[in-house]
Structure 1
Amino acid sequence: MRLHVADHPLVAHKLTVLRDVTTPSATFRLLVDELVTLLAYEATRDVRTREVEITTPVATTTGTKLAQPRPLVVPILRAGLGMLDGMTRLLPSAEVGFLGMQRDEETLEAITYANRLPEDLSGRQCFLLDPMLATGGTLVAAIDYLLQRGARDVTAVCLLAAPEGIKVVEDFVGDRADVQVVVAAVDERLNEKAYIVPGLGDAGDRLYGVV
């Protein structure tokens, strides 16, 4: 597994405002959208391309286009949905699948309750969206779900990660597939309730309110 921490002053600035408990949901949603677009730039450095010949107003030249099959963007519901627009803004030609997962607050294990994904992901570059990599349980379950369908190239885009969660993902992935995790920051630790510290709270609740 490869870990990439985005080191950019705009990323740090937006993340600071997201952490602030006084930031309202409307501003939080806007900043998540902007931050994910910055992270998507880093996450797509290795997106597959092909050469094409085009004609400019002046001459014929060789350019670059995204290769087939198209990349697949998969937000993990519900919080990952708040990251979708920021990702597809940079990858408008990507297909979008959905994976519904939630953490059992007692066992801390991930429960899958919905999916909308192609049956065969062989040869597809997949981008998972989940704001928080905390215990790693949800992300591991999501990665495993994609691997079972044939994916071997998976990039997870997260706002924050805890060292404990990164270790869990590393141990799970091993050499099974090419997996990259792109984050805005790696925080100190998890607390006794498995929340990231200092973190930014429950990303889903801060995006959409407590339901």
Structure 2
Amino acid sequence: MSLVHVSKHPLVAHKLTKLRSVETEPKRFRELVRELSALLAYEATADLLTRPVTVQTPMGVAQGAELVDTIGLVPILRAGLGMVEGVWELMPTAEVWHLGIYRDEKTLKPVQYYNKLPTEPRVSVCLILDPMLATGGSAIAAVDILKQWGVKRIKFVGLIGSPEGIQRLETHHPDVAIHLAAIDERLNNQGYIVPGLGDAGDRQFGTG
């Protein structure tokens, strides 16, 4: 059973179209990344564990539920930073840890340069946040790090994926759910997704 989930929500499709446009300036680009991240995180967390509770309302007693799972957000620097705020708005108690992984432009292999994970995990579920699942190298490296750290449940949340990157991540980590707004055609020779949206980091921070 495939764990790849591509959103079919019309708001996701609408906002992703705006995000792709070359006319979208950095400020609006960041806003769209934040909004899309919240929508995708909503879908990615549909299976979180809860326990039944009762609460007193002004009119009586209601049966409800509260989360059992504790959540960690792991943005891959730097492009993943723009996704944190949107997810945090849904889950303000989530812990956030940063992983710095960049893709070597010659080898297209991931290089880790920053890791601020504590000694032991304090959460039951981690969401890896990275707008683009291109070659899959950074995502695989991030999952490797989190599994070695001791996290049992890991999900990848991104905006756009390539067939090649998805296949690589599934092959290396078939237990990791992948949540995306879209799957595009292919990678080009430089490892960029086509048609994609360009460099997500540059477009967020105005450095392109």
TM-score grouping bracket, smaller chain normalisation = over 0.9
1:133 Cα deviation after fit? 0.1
Higher alpha-carbon deviation: 53-62 or 191-200: 53-62
Corresponding residue for 1:200?
197
Query: Contact (CA 8 Å) 1:122, 1:152: kept in 2 or not?
Result: no
Structure 1 stretches lacking a partner, 5+ long = none
Change (3 A) 1:122 1:144: farther
Query: Contact (CA 8 Å) 1:53, 1:62: kept in 2 or not?
Result: yes
Query: Contact (CA 8 Å) 1:134, 1:194: kept in 2 or not?
Result: yes
Corresponding residue for 1:182?
179
1:54 Cα deviation after fit? 1.3
Corresponding residue for 2:88?
88
Corresponding residue for 1:20?
21
The one-character-per-residue Cα deviations of 1:34-65 (angstroms, maximum 9, x if unpaired) are 11111111011012222222111122232111
Measure, in 2, the Cα distance between the counterparts of 1:119 and 1:168. 28
Measure, in 1, the Cα distance between the counterparts of 2:122 and 2:147. 9
1:151 Cα deviation after fit? 1.2
1:155 Cα deviation after fit? 0.9
Measure, in 1, the Cα distance between the counterparts of 2:164 and 2:37. 23
Runs of 4+ in 1 over 2 A off after TM superposition: 118-123
1:130 Cα deviation after fit? 0.2
Identity in percent: 52
Measure, in 2, the Cα distance between the counterparts of 1:103 and 1:82. 18
Corresponding residue for 2:74?
74
Corresponding residue for 2:106?
106
Q: Are 2:159 and 1:159 equivalent residues in the alignment?
A: yes
CA RMSD of aligned residues (A): 1.4
Amino acid at match of 1:191: N
Query: Contact (CA 8 Å) 1:133, 1:166: kept in 2 or not?
Result: yes
Corresponding residue for 2:9?
8
Query: Contact (CA 8 Å) 1:155, 1:180: kept in 2 or not?
Result: yes
Measure, in 1, the Cα distance between the counterparts of 2:169 and 2:4. 10
Higher alpha-carbon deviation: 112-121 or 34-43: 112-121
How many aligned positions are there?
Answer: 207
TM-score by length of 1: 0.94
The one-character-per-residue Cα deviations of 1:98-119 (angstroms, maximum 9, x if unpaired) are 1111111111111111112232
Query: Contact (CA 8 Å) 1:122, 1:149: kept in 2 or not?
Result: no
Query: Contact (CA 8 Å) 1:123, 1:152: kept in 2 or not?
Result: no
Corresponding residue for 1:29?
30
Measure, in 2, the Cα distance between the counterparts of 1:166 and 1:208. 26
**1:79 alignment partner, SS class:** coil
1:122 Cα deviation after fit? 7.3
Amino acid at match of 1:207: Q
**2:158 alignment partner, SS class:** strand
**1:135 alignment partner, SS class:** coil
Q: Are 2:57 and 1:56 equivalent residues in the alignment?
A: yes
**2:80 alignment partner, SS class:** helix
Measure, in 2, the Cα distance between the counterparts of 1:3 and 1:84. 21
